[in-house]
Amino acid sequence: MLIYKDRISGECVEAREAGSRPGARTKQKTQPPTHSGAQTEPSMTLCSFFLSISHHTGDELLSDSYNVKDSEDGFFIEVDGKWTEVGDVDVDIGANPSAEEGGEDEGVDGASRKVVDIIDAFRLVEQPSYKKADFMGYIKPWLAKITEELPEGERDDFKEKAQVGIKFLLGKIKELQFFTGESMDPESTMVYAYYKEGAENPTFLFPKAAMHEVKM
C-alpha cells in the first residue's frame, strides 16, 4: 500500500488509480525529465509515519501530515493537536428548538463526541499523572534504555538534549498529560501534552529518539 500526502489538504491518503479496486497499489508519478536529463521532484509525496523504535510494540504514533517541528534542542518532535467532533453528523429536521427543552442541544446525536485529532487518529492512551519524584523514577531507566538502543556515535548528543527536554517536562509536570501508544507500554515511550498559555488546543511532545520514520 502506498500512502501519499494530499497536496491540498496535507492529509495522508491511500493512492488509487481511476477504476482500480480499493487498496490497489499505484506507481509514484514523476514529472517529465528536464532538458538537462535530470528529473524534477515527484509530483506526489510519500507520507511519513513515526513509529516507536521498540521491537515489541512498533506503535504508530504520528505522521508528517501534521505540522511537526523540533523543540527543546531537538529532543522532542512538537505538534499541535486540535479538538474536533467525530461521529454522526447533526441533521436539521426542521424542528423548532425553542419549542423543546434543551435549546441548542436539541437534535445533537448522542453518537457524536469531541476528541483531540492526534489522540483519536493514533489511538493514544492517557495514563495517570506523575509527581516529580515518580516521574524521575520512570524517566531515568527509560533514558538508559533508549541510550543503549542508539548508535554509539549518537549517544552523547542524545544525553545532552535529554537534559534540556527532561528539564522542560519537570517544569511543567503539573500541567502535563501523559499518553502511551496503542500497546499501552510506557517502557517503549510516552507522549506528553499540555496547553500553552491562552491556547484552546493541546500541544504534543514526542521524544524524537524513541521513534523512527517510515515512508509508506
pLDDT band at 212 (very low <50, low <70, confident <90, very high): confident
Residue 64, Cβ neighbours under 10 Å: how many?
19
Domains recognised in the chain with CATH numbers? 1-46 (no CATH), 54-83+118-211 (2.170.150.10)
Per-residue pLDDT of 113-137, as tens digits, reads 999 999 999 999 999 999 999 999 9
Mean pLDDT of 146-159: 95
Per-residue pLDDT of 81-94, as tens digits, reads 999 999 865 555 45
pTM here is: 0.69
Region of poorest pLDDT, from 41-50, 66-75, 83-92, 187-196? 41-50
Q: Is residue 79 predicted with pLDDT exceeding 50?
A: yes
What pLDDT is attached to residue 215?
A: 79
d(CA 120, CA 82) in angstroms, rounded, equals: 10
Per-residue pLDDT of 9-29, as tens digits, reads 445 544 444 344 333 333 343
Q: Which three cell numbers stand for residue 201?
A: 488546543
53: burial class by Cβ within 10 Å (0-12, 13-18, 19+)?
middle
What pLDDT is attached to residue 58?
A: 76
